[in-house]
Structure 1
Amino acid sequence: MVEVLIVGGGPVGLYLAALLLQEGVKVRILEQRTGRDLHSRAIGIHPPALAALESAGVADTMVEAGVQIRRGVAISGGRTLGSMSFAPVSDRFPFVLSLPQFTTETLLEERVNHLDSSALVRGARVTDIADDGGRVTVSIDGTPGPGGRNPSTRLSAQLLVAADGSRSSVRGLLGIKARPRSYPDHYVMGDFEDSGGHRQEAVLYLEAGGIVESFPLPGGVRRWVARVDRPTQVPDAGELARIVHRRTGVRPEPATNTMLSAFSPRSAMAQRSVAGRAVLIGDAAHEISPIGGQGMNLGWLDAAELAPLICAALAGEPVGRRLQAYAAGRRKAARLARWQSEVNMTLGRPLPRPLLALRSHAIGAVAGIPAANRLVARRFTMQ
């Protein structure tokens, strides 16, 4: 008999499932997608999340597969303003790990399958939820079978966890609203062969036309993210390369491009993350701007704190007050993460030359103070 239903088989849902399966909990993960998304969206894994992933037995494998970013560099007008080392932020993981989300999900899914090969159910769309106070039951529509039928079923469990992303269907079925917040920021990004001199460094180019961010990826690839003035369609590789070259002097080779995307950040906070026997985690509870790479990490930390409460509840322990404290604490963490992402976006906005020079001077001054440098590094890595 299933004890916990997890809706959403992305990185957060898979991680929570691994934690619970390790404790002997019977889990089913209901994932609407029939296969993994090949697009490498989130790439940054911060030290607190790596420590949490270690408890699920996947951190070492991820570190082996990724690139360890041990330093960030700020550049403006071809001049280095300052650098930030991640060495002081963690004894165990003194770096930000760069790993494409596709690989992250693959490794987590392998861990889940090792623990229970039947736990993940793909092509399952939740269409209704009923909570009678003792158990929660979901109605599921499946993908068409060999005969062309569209099978449907109902599945019950003691608890339901929604990890189905920013457009959470579970959140809507539970009648929980989310308060959205939009921003005057828009970005284009792409992955190109890395031919520069910053092989294991993150580089922020703070230019008059807007920020350009650059991060190494496994396989000798570098991701370029450029702020643009208005919402835009996905650019072609040549157009993005020209934007990067015009602002930074670095010219990515368009023929080596492997991914292109465009996005306009937003954030949203669910009015509540606990409803009866259901809990929202990750983007279903709090969507954060991807600038700063905190969203996926925040979801993992949600799951790490929630898993012991789930185990206690299944053991018959009263967890009402602990669950209330959990919800309040994770909401506070989400607000802090949102604030940090908003600071990051503000620093990357276009400025007239006099103000750009003033900002560059301030960044250089802060970077030159060791204590301030360490504080910024800790804030950037969610500590």
Structure 2
Amino acid sequence: MTQAPATTEALMQAAEFLVDLQADALTPDEHASITSRLTAWRTASPDHEWAWQRVMAMGARLQPLSPQRTHRTSTAILSTAASKAGRRKAIKQLACAAIGGAAGLVVWRQSDTAPVWLAAWGSDIRTGTGERRNLELPDGSRLQLNADSAVSIVFSAVERTVRLISGELYVHSAPLAPDRSLPLRLTTRHGRIEAGEARFGVRQREHLATGLFVDGGRVEVGLARAGTPAATRAVRAGESMVFEGGRLGEPQASRAATTAWTRGMLIAQDMPLGELLAELSLFRSGYLGCDPAIASLRINGTFPLRSAEDTDRALRMLVAEHALAARYVTRYWTRLSAAA
């Protein structure tokens, strides 16, 4: 059924309100202002109320079954809204989902153009905020997923593939059996990693390149983009690499800090404060951020990271040691700034 122009416009407006309401950087006053305008808009027309309920219903369909991921998944589309162009894209995605319904979402999710948050919704295995998970594959290989991560797995007589859709995992791949020549293949949106017996970590967060860290053995890395050179590059124990688009980085000496999360630790070595808070937010529901003026402040330290309580302790230490102030607006909104 074709949507009437007035109805389509209302859906776009409803999507715009939702994008604005759930943006991470909102202050409480800004949130209250948007809520007030939304209430007035909804009561102005039955079409407006219908459009709002439609957009909210689609948001509910997009939420995974795990309640721990509810906040992060329902707002994940907003990660594209940091710029004006990204905001317009997020609004269009929400409105199109509301117009097309669930069937359209399934088709979109399976396409190469689907955003990471939607692909993660259809993954085989997901972890939520504060959740890590261990699993064993049919060939004896072992995977450890960090918080807020998603993978899909395909094992058959002709394929041994793990697809990292988003997040971070650590792999201990089993040795090849005498009667089997298929290497374990791990793919990301940027490329593929093939391994015999090896231990390695892979990280792929939204809008970032893929990071690879090899602790044992050797892996081969190739690019995913069509038209790029077919050459692969070997990465050996003690080395790391970053790759994206049409570029394979050079192997570099790896640091133990990169896989410290597998031991329940976060090791900051000259890490920008903004990046550190993003890591802590994997174990803390809601918004955790800082004033842009201090986002580049360099932090060194070791932080246990297994629970939300660990993030509380880390924030107290940051405030005490770096002359910062923390503003809390409920348990789910925390922002650091320079102390007055």
TM-score range, shorter chain: under 0.3
What TM-score results when the alignment is normalised by the length of structure 2? Answer: 0.26
What TM-score results when the alignment is normalised by the length of structure 1? Answer: 0.24
Q: Which has the higher contact order (CA 8 A, sep 6+)?
A: 1
